[in-house]
Amino acid sequence: MLSTYAEILRLNRAWRFSLAAAILRLPSSIMPISVVLSLQAAYGSYTLAGAVSAVNIIALAVFAPLLARLVDRFGQLKIMGPALTMSAIATTVMFVATYYVAPPWIVFISAAIAGGTWGSPGALVRARWIRTTETVAQLNSAFALESAVDELVYIVGPVIATVLGTILHPTTGLAVSVVFLLIGGSLFLAQRSSEPDPVDRSVQVDEKGNVIRQRSLLFLPAMIVLMLTYAGMGAQFGANDIAVVAFTKELGVPAMAGVLLAMFSVGSFISALIYGARTWRRSLWSLFAIGVVALAIGMSAYLLARSILTLGIIMLMSGMACAPTMTNVNMMVTKTVPRHRQTEGLAWMSTAINLGVSLGSSASGPAVDRYGSTGAYVMIAIFAWLMVLGMLVGLPTLKKSLLKSAQEEAEHQREVLDED
């Protein structure tokens, strides 16, 4: 298994940009809990903390695809260099404003700017893997590796935020996020050899000389199906964050909430490494369908838990369906979206899952207030099977899109052979 990953990490010294991207992604797991810890401590309001967190996530979801589109056109360094610098400055302002309990509007504005200029590091690193890998099998392994890194980030980040926030000061996580953002961003963008070549799409004309307008990727039927699936996953994750906190409080062990959430990430991390280390003979769409159904079954099983141990085991097992499913979604994006818009396509997936998280969190909160943790777990089950329903309805569209992609790739290979 390890030899598979060692092989791809040696391609054009890919380990360097993969490691840098991992550092760059740490703020994504540190910021959410740091915002809650710091704002609640400074202003004494969970409502304010939740509102600021929502503003940050929504800004990220809205502007990440726009930044990605500019990246595809002008390059990662030219766009994300200034953007990440602005994000670091805005996060610093948010840290200082919170530390000194400044007027809340300053926190809101800085949170929005920080989220809106952070972009999608996951899309950036996967775009580099598309350029670096030589075969579909290598790309699948690379995407699985990055899914494992995502889970590792979400295991380590909350621990950093809570430990430093408890030992030093509640705002420490915000300051640390700035450090990781600057270090990771600088190391990642400095590696020019693996950066995808920008594609000038300012003007394209047809055979008659008429200007061709670029259609939004949201008009691609396959993208709609994949985004709805990701939104469904995000809704489950957002609801689960609320449910686990409520469940552990009901049992009198609130400190176990972080451990339980980490169990899901551990399961996903393990499955990502196993899944990406082998070549699968099944079609991509069938692997995707199996993963979605398996995830829905696992997440619905949370309703059966009556103890911390039981829920921990169920979360570990359900997490194993997460990373492979996300890997398959990202692979289908690369086959659905035009080559010169890969970063944008991958960024739209981040937007979909972030919007889903916001939906899940907002919907499960009232459910917990009225019915306890059981209410949130019912919401998770509803989101899970709505995700499955959307997948089943859209599966013929995905199969058609993948078949068309395979035919176009075969035609391209024939043209290359003819030229030779």
d(CA 415, CA 323): 36
Inter-residue contact 25 to 150 (CB < 8 Å): yes
Q: Highest-confidence range of 135-149, 233-247, 266-280, 310-324, by mean pLDDT?
A: 310-324
The pLDDT assigned to 71 comes to 93
Q: What average pLDDT score do residues 154-166 get? A: 82
d(CA 220, CA 162): 41
Cα distance from N-terminal residue to C-terminal residue, the chain: 36
The pLDDT assigned to 195 comes to 92
d(CA 92, CA 23): 18
d(CA 113, CA 107): 10
Q: Give the SS3 label for residue 412.
A: helix
Q: What average pLDDT score do residues 385-395 get? A: 94
2-9 vs 14-43: helix crossing angle, rounded to 10: 100
In whole angstroms, how far apart are CA 327 and each of 130, 177, 220, 226, 352? 13, 26, 20, 12, 15
Residue with the bigger pLDDT between 167 and 23: it is 23
The pLDDT assigned to 243 comes to 85
Buried b (16+ CB within 10 A) or exposed e, 120-131: bbbbbbbbbbbe
Instruction: Report the DSSP beta bridge partners of residue 211.
Output: 205
Residue with the bigger pLDDT between 156 and 175: it is 175
The pLDDT assigned to 418 comes to 58
pLDDT band for position 410 (cuts 50, 70, 90): low
**Helix segments in 172-301, DSSP class H:** 172-189, 221-250, 257-276, 284-300
Instruction: Report the DSSP beta bridge partners of residue 205.
Output: 211
What are residue 205's phi and psi, to 5 degrees?
-125, 155
d(CA 186, CA 207): 43
Residue 379 has pLDDT above 90, yes or no: yes
Task: For 106-147, give the DSSP string.
Answer: HHHHHHHHHHHTT--HHHHHHHHHHHH--SHHHHHHHHHHHH
pLDDT band for position 151 (cuts 50, 70, 90): confident
In whole angstroms, how far apart are CA 357 and each of 37, 51, 274? 19, 14, 27
d(CA 95, CA 31): 11
C-alpha torsion angle, residues 339, 352, 132, 28 (rounded to 10): 150
The pLDDT assigned to 420 comes to 53
Inter-residue contact 1 to 274 (CB < 8 Å): yes
List the one residue out of 140, 216, 220 whose CA is nearest residue 398: 220
The pLDDT assigned to 209 comes to 52
Q: Which long-range contacts (CB under 8 A, 24 or more apart) does 325-329 make?
A: 325/233, 325/288, 325/291, 325/292, 325/294, 325/295, 326/147, 326/150, 326/233, 327/140, 327/143, 327/144, 327/147, 327/272, 327/275, 327/276, 328/284, 328/287, 328/288, 328/291, 329/226, 329/229, 329/230, 329/288
Q: What average pLDDT score do residues 231-243 get? A: 88
pLDDT tens-digit map of 29-50 = 888 878 877 888 898 876 787 7
What's the residue count for the chain?
Answer: 420
Residue with tokens 């309805």: 393
The pLDDT assigned to 417 comes to 53
DSSP 289: H
Q: How many percent of the chain have pLDDT more than 70?
A: 93
| Structure tokens, 393 | 């309805």
pLDDT band for position 331 (cuts 50, 70, 90): confident
pLDDT band for position 299 (cuts 50, 70, 90): very high
Q: What average pLDDT score do residues 103-127 get? A: 94
User: What average pLDDT does the structure give for the chain?
Assistant: 87
- Give the lowest-confidence range in 126-130, 213-217, 253-257, 266-270: 213-217
Residue 88 has pLDDT above 90, yes or no: yes
Q: What domains can you pick out in the chain, each with its CATH number?
A: 14-198 (1.20.1250.20), 215-414 (1.20.1250.20)
The pLDDT assigned to 372 comes to 86
The pLDDT assigned to 89 comes to 97
The pLDDT assigned to 63 comes to 93
| Structure tokens, 256 | 């176990």
